[in-house]
Structure 1
Amino acid sequence: MIKSTGILFLVALFTLLVTACGSDEPGSLIVLTHDSFDIGEEIIAQFEEDNNATVTIQKSGDSGEALNRAILEKGNPSGDLLYGVDNTFLTKALREDIFIKYESSRMEDVPSQFVLDDTFHVSPVDYGYVNINYDIAYLEEHGLTPPKTLEELTGEEWKGRLVVQNPATSSPGLAFLIATVSYFGEDDDYDYLDFWADLKENDLVVKDGWSDAYYTNFSQYDGDQPLVLSYATSPAAELYFSEGAYRTPPTGNMLVDKATFLQVEGIGILKGTQNEKLARKFIDFVLDTPFQEDIPSRMFVYPVNSKAVTPDFFKYAEVPTLPSDIDADTIDENRDEWIDSWTKVVLR
């Protein structure tokens, strides 16, 4: 009996030691995101060091494409988290039930206006305003004045000079489509589809994603279009990247009332992950000030943490006074129809 008890004690001790050793084994996370994601290597390295883990950032096209991938992989995701789902696609993501609920304690530092989802399947991480940018030097060289209304974009002087993104694959593209619905309305004498039809006739250029439109087509980067759909923070980013070559931003913002869109991005833990505990820690980390304060100079959008400090060059980041006023429920009810109608008018 004593011998049997001793054996049981040794087995229990061995199990305890194995468990203890196992807890020290390194973890790993895969974060699915869009092509525009950028954060300092030293920031990610700090999380890895603090949590004895490795983090792999897996880019999957624009945010709409990244979400579509996560939906296709529902229940058996190739990643543990999805970073970049925004308020234009949020309800679609929630309806597909691809996220695990998690409310981070860091949410106490996030103003309520940026809370995407009150069930906390998705936590907000950053925000920015989508609008049209223009190349100042190009306009001056060609004797053009920056357009002050969307209607002006259909004029002869802007023929072939505007590049936007496809709303079916790009969150900025969808954001601008929604803004045009807000601006022109539906089923009026001249509604949003009439506007897009006129843009098409005016040789509108459409790209699948933001990066391609901005860095390939925008004349600031030797492309052919001096007008590009981007963000209100992009001119400030251009100044920052110029490393002193410019004293003021080389690009400007076309800020038209009800024709800009407040875009809020979020992060969520994907159902099926085997690393939920570590994924929760990563969300806490993303909402903390070191990560949040790195966002503006990397992705040129605003941090949602109210305690995060933005860099000096953000004083050149203009804020629209009256963005579009279409709520999330209306977007959810009409998004697919708007995209389908846009596709028929613009791409077919």
Structure 2
Amino acid sequence: MSTTSSAGRAGRKFTAVVAVTGLGLVALSACGSSGSGSGAGDEKTVTLVSHDSFAASKSVIEEFEKESGYKVRVLKDGDAGQAVNKAILTKDNPQGDVFFGVDNTLLSRALDNGLFQPYEAKGADKVAEEYRADQGKHRVTPIDSGDICVNYDKAYFTEHELDPPKSFADLTKPKYKNLLVTENAATSSPGLGFLLGTAAAYGDGGWEGYWKKLRANGVKVVDGWEQAYNEEFSGSAGGRKAGGDRPLVVSYASSPPAEVIYADPKPKTAPTGVADGTCFRQTEYAGLLSNAENTAGGKALIDFLVSKKFQEDMPLNMFVYPVVDGAKVPGEFTAYGPQAEDPATLAPAKIADNRDQWVKSWTSLVLK
């Protein structure tokens, strides 16, 4: 939603972090005190555990610290999937007070393992209805959203006088043979999201057949977002330097604006585009960790994460969209990376019931 080796956006044992939470281009600009543990004995420190892609403006963090009286300590615990798994393993003696970065693809795993305790955040009523989950129990609070989509290299398609693909079905056509690189669904958040998108589009009885066609059409699979986007994809700044030769990559709808914002000099238009018919929507959540030592500080921090101040700070730090009604989105997002109008989605219960078996079947089908 996610950032370093992606999102967060991450494997969410899912190993590429929410790139949009992504893109490995931004780093946390403000951290509180450092050290080990969750600040035991220090009631004035609140610890946020997250994936490597968490980022926020220093001034915004400082404003929260001044208003709340709590010093923020951020503990980054690897990619999102690794961070979630570690949080589950340490839930009886948690590393912090709040966890941020579990998304809808792995939310059921966190909830089923008792990772969070109930807390209804102040301002949660302003979160758009489409992003809410676990209503009635309030164990998690929606914080951001982002779309996993196939990105394309505009220059390649112009040079080859070829229209870029628009849909999942297009990707199986002969004219796009050997052009797509995606991430491993068992080790990467965007890879998993892309798999879920195909499951949503083709259903239980059709997604495997779709992947057989995609495999026959030369799809390349790599471990994570960082390799796919910054090494294999010909349209990214990193890919161009690395000699990437794949003009189609599974990434995020927010990747094009990042290519503009971080370019020097800045181009007038984004060098990459998004195939809108290939998008799957991710939502990231935060929750008060079970057995948190500083529950009061944790609650205040979750309130802050859903505040308009933080919500409007997120897009240009983590390349994700706010979920609170009325939060403004930067012009660069509107111009270069608008959210998909009709992204694929799956009910959390559907993901929970099928995710592990889908990944197992996908691995057998695509990688063997």
Band of TM-score, shorter chain: 0.7 to 0.9
2:126 maps to amino acid: D
Q: Which moved more, 1:215-224 or 1:298-307?
A: 215-224
> Which residue in 2 is equivalent to 1:83?
100
Label 1:203 to 1:60 Cα distance change in 2 as closer, same or farther (>3 A): farther
State the distance in 2 between where 1:193 and 1:105 align.
43
Per the alignment, residue 117 of structure 2 pairs with 100
Structure 1 residue 214 corresponds to structure 2 residue 229: yes
Question: Equivalent of 1:110, from 121, 127, 145?
Answer: 127
Amino acid at match of 1:262: R
> Residue 332 of structure 1: CA displacement?
1.3
Is contact 1:166–1:206 with CA below 8 Å preserved after alignment? Answer: yes
Q: Does 1:281 align with 2:296?
A: no
Q: Could you tell me whether the CA contact under 8 Å between 1:37 and 1:299 is conserved in 2? A: yes
5 Å-filtered alignment, 1:1-348, equals: 27-118=44-135, 119-187=137-205, 191-219=206-234, 220=236, 221=238, 222=240, 223-242=244-263, 245-256=266-277, 259-316=278-335, 317-348=337-368
More moved, 200-209 vs 308-317: 200-209
- Give how far 1:125 is off: 0.5
More helix by share: 1
Structure 2 distance, partners of 1:38, 1:212, is 21
Are the counterparts in 1 of residues 144 and 283 from structure 2 also a CA contact under 8 Å? yes
> Percent of aligned pairs with the same residue?
40
AA aligned to 2:269 is T
* 1:255 aligned counterpart, secondary structure: strand
- Mapped partners of 1:85, 1:70: distance in 2: 10
Deviations 1:38-89 (A, max 9, x none): 2212222322333444333333333222211211222122232211111111
Shift of 1:262: 1.7
Q: How many residues align?
A: 320
- Deviations, residues 174-228 of structure 1 (Å, cap 9, x unaligned): 22111101222233xxx21222233334443334433443233322122332211
The amino acid across from 2:263 in the alignment is S
Instruction: Sort the Cα spacing of 1:211 and 1:100 in 2 relative to 1 into closer, same or farther, 3 A.
Output: farther
Which structure would you say has the larger Rg? 1
2:266 is aligned with what amino acid? A
RMSD of aligned residue pairs (Cα, Å): 2.3
- SS at 1:78 equivalent: coil
1:121 is displaced (CA, Å) by 0.6
Contact 1:179 1:260 in 2 (8 A): yes
Give the distance between the partners of 2:228 and 2:110, measured in 1 at CA: 25
Deviations, residues 305-339 of structure 1 (Å, cap 9, x unaligned) = 21321111122223323222432221111111111
- Tell me which amino acid in the other structure corresponds to 1:192: W
- Once the two structures are TM-superposed, the CA of residue 230 in structure 1 deviates from its matched residue by 1.6
Unmatched segments (≥5 aa) in structure 2: 1-40
User: Counterpart of 1:323 in 2: which secondary structure?
Assistant: coil
Cα displacement (A) at 1:254: 0.4
Per-residue displacement from partner, 1:135-161 (whole Å, max 9, x unpaired)?
112332344321133233234544443
| 3-state SS in 2 of match to 1:128 | strand
CA contact (8 A) 2:281 2:345 kept: no
Structure 1 residue 26, shift from structure 2 partner: 6.3
Q: 1:213 to 1:32 in 2, by over 3 A?
A: farther
Question: How much has 1:247 moved relative to structure 2?
Answer: 1.2
Alignment check: 8 A CA contact 1:133 1:254 kept: yes
Structure 1 unmatched runs, 5+:
1-23
Detail structure 1 runs of 4+ shifted over 6 Å in the superposition: none
Q: 1:32 to 1:138 in 2, by over 3 A?
A: farther
| Separation in 2, partners of 1:69, 1:166 | 21
Q: How many Å apart are 1:244 and its aligned residue?
A: 5.6
Shift of 1:280: 0.8
- Residues 108-157 of structure 1: per-residue CA shift (max 9 Å, x gap): 22122211221111100011222111111233234432113323323454
How far apart are the structure 1 equivalents of 2:246 and 2:47? 36
Q: Secondary structure at the match of 2:273?
A: strand
TM-score normalized by structure 1? 0.84
Preserved CA contact (<8 Å) 1:217 1:225: yes
Q: Is contact 1:132–1:254 with CA below 8 Å preserved after alignment?
A: yes
User: In structure 2, how many angstroms separate the alpha carbons of the residues matched to 1:184 and 1:236?
Assistant: 30
TM-score, normalised by the number of residues in structure 2: 0.80
Q: 1:4-28 CA deviation, whole Å, 9 max, x = no partner?
A: xxxxxxxxxxxxxxxxxxxx96622
